[in-house]
Amino acid sequence: MIRDRFAPSPTGNVHVGSLRTALYNYLFAKKMGGEFLLRLEDTDQTRLEQGAVDNLLDALNMTGVIPDEGLIKEHHNIVQKGQHGPYIQSQRLDIYKQYIETLLTQGQAYYCFCSKERLEEVRNEQKDKGETPKYDGKCRSLTKDEIAENIAAGLPHTVRLKLPENHVISFDDLVRGAIEMNTNDLDDQVLLKADGFPTYHMAVVVDDHLMAITHVIRGEEWLPSTPKHVYLYECFGWESPKFVHLPNILNDDRKKLSKRQGDVSVGDFLAKGYLPEALVNFLALLGWSPENQQEIFSMAELIEAFDLTRINKSGAVFDRAKLNWMNAHYIKEMPIENLVNHLTPFLVNAGVITEQEISAKQEWLSKIAEILRDRIEFFAQAPQELEMILKSDFIIEDQEALALLHEESSKRLYQALTTKIEATEVLDAARGKAILKEIQKEEKIKGKMLFMPSRIMITGEMHGPDLTLIMDVLGKDEVLNRIKSVASIMQL
């Protein structure tokens, strides 16, 4: 059975690149009838952040990238589910030490007692000579007695992988093809740190083997380390999984997407009112392309279409305009009830409506939602967009708009609008539409000369959402007041 995993570190909010990695693992597992596992890699205790695990699981649950096994959130509690646990690396230290002992016994690893200061000095000397910085092997040949004496003296130490000289390590990457590297170009990687925690390189190999992972799908930043992982599989006599290294997500300047360029976490986008399904759809197409030109996908359609062989080698630019377009598409297609539910928290936060008013103003909110549906790309834009539509103290400065108001037909339009609106009992969308049709027939004013001046009188703008919906939301008195406020401009 196909088994893959997402194995992040709990170091803060979930980066969109991490969500894409999780998504590709999820899509592949589901496409192949396999299992998707979530494991927590917390061996670097200095980088842990409070609340990071909750943020991680919430991001996965909200976007529908839900693990079959490993860390799961059930009823607001974090649990470990599956037969291959524990799924938190800091709870697996005894397992790693067992395999470290195996490598030491086989002569494929060694104790290193070099201090940080010495290692830094060696690196600096190598850099000065134009050499690639790497460990110089000082502790590779220590005798058993020297090792025992150092340990007895309480000297801090690590355990390093003992790479053979001039040994070619080869593996196939399903995206990048055959890759070879000579051990002479590699470093004797630390496997066990002085604090007793394994490094990523040791833990990832042991965990992936013991958890029966068949495919490792991860970011391309791990590609240079993969030969060391492949060699560790050789040392243990294990079959290595298949590797897939994903292209980086890039900024507009084609550098790796970073916080310096703005929002990069899943939480940032969801908090601004991007829909989870739109974010997933967008990220799926950053580095992978379907066989056809389809751009809008449900999760089920993504699973059906996903194919590892169609993952790109080159980096994909995070095009925010494309994300905005895609999110706007989902907003336009959303049922009105759902749209109201998504909009309301943003309107409450902006003080447009209070929590206490929500239930009584559902009809008003539905009208607002219809007005905003085609005008926003994400929900955080709603309060400002609504303010632009509903503000009564607008100033008409556009010269084309002013010219339209000074047309002779606009003066007749003004009189007809005020007369008919004053005479109507309730001004809703249906009555507003009927009034405009009556004026068209009676005054012989139509098209642009009917709708644009009417909109300018009521909103101050030449273009915008359905005018009759705006009339409905504003109501009779407010519409009349706005129309009459432009009388002086029209010299009436």
- Residues 452 and 382 sit within 8 Å (Cβ to Cβ): no
* Residue of higher predicted confidence among 75 and 95: 95
Q: Is residue 492, in this structure, part of any structural domain at all?
A: no
**Percentage above 90 pLDDT, the chain:** 75
**pLDDT value at 461 more than 90:** no
On whether both 177 and 54 belong to a single domain, the answer is no
Q: Is residue 145, in this structure, part of any structural domain at all?
A: yes
Taking 3-state DSSP, the helix, strand and coil percentages for the chain, each rounded to the nearest 5, stand at 50, 15, 35
Instruction: Tell me the residue range of the domain where 43 lies.
Output: 3-89+249-317
**CATH number where 465 lies:** 1.10.10.350
Our count of domains for the chain comes to: 4
pLDDT at residue 255 in the model: 83
C-alpha distances (whole Å) from 17 to each of 226, 241, 360, 424 are 19, 22, 42, 57
pLDDT tier at 397, thresholds 50, 70, 90: confident
On whether both 70 and 124 belong to a single domain, the answer is no
pLDDT tens, position by position, 163-222: 999 999 999 999 999 999 999 999 999 999 999 999 999 999 999 999 999 999 999 999
Q: Is residue 326, in this structure, part of any structural domain at all?
A: no
On whether both 78 and 165 belong to a single domain, the answer is no
Q: Is residue 265, in this structure, part of any structural domain at all?
A: yes
pLDDT at residue 145 in the model: 93
Q: Is residue 256, in this structure, part of any structural domain at all?
A: yes
**CATH number where 344 lies:** 1.10.8
On whether both 117 and 205 belong to a single domain, the answer is yes
Domain end marker among 185, 214, 246? 246
On whether both 265 and 340 belong to a single domain, the answer is no
Catalytic residues: 259
C-alpha distances (whole Å) from 114 to each of 96, 103, 126, 165 are 22, 20, 16, 21
On whether both 371 and 445 belong to a single domain, the answer is no
**pLDDT value at 262 more than 80:** no
Q: Is residue 322, in this structure, part of any structural domain at all?
A: no
How far is C-alpha 266 from the chain's CA centre? Answer: 4
Instruction: Tell me which of 9-13, 204-208, 395-399, 428-432 is least confident.
Output: 9-13
Q: Is the peptide bond prior to 86 cis by the omega test (within 30 degrees of 0)?
A: yes
On whether both 299 and 351 belong to a single domain, the answer is no
**Percentage above 70 pLDDT, the chain:** 99
Domain end marker among 218, 246, 274? 246
Q: What is the mean pLDDT of the chain?
A: 92
**CATH number where 172 lies:** 3.40.50.620
Q: Is residue 102, in this structure, part of any structural domain at all?
A: yes
pLDDT tens, position by position, 51-80: 788 899 999 999 999 999 999 988 888 999
User: Taken in order 195, 200, 201, 205, is the CA torsion positive or negative?
Assistant: positive
Helix, strand, or coil (residue 7): coil
Q: Which residue do the tokens 């600096």 mark?
A: 124
pLDDT tier at 48, thresholds 50, 70, 90: low
Predicted TM-score (pTM) above 0.85:
yes
3-state secondary structure 64-80: CCCCCEEEEEECCEEEE
Question: In this structure, are strands 316-317 and 249-250 parallel, antiparallel, or unpaired?
Answer: parallel
On whether both 151 and 50 belong to a single domain, the answer is no
Q: Is residue 422, in this structure, part of any structural domain at all?
A: yes
Please name the helix (run of DSSP H) or strand (run of DSSP E) that holds residue 342, with its range, or none.
helix 336-349
Partners of 111 in beta bridges: 159
pLDDT tens, position by position, 308-320: 999 999 999 999 9
pLDDT tens, position by position, 7-32: 998 877 889 999 999 999 999 999 99
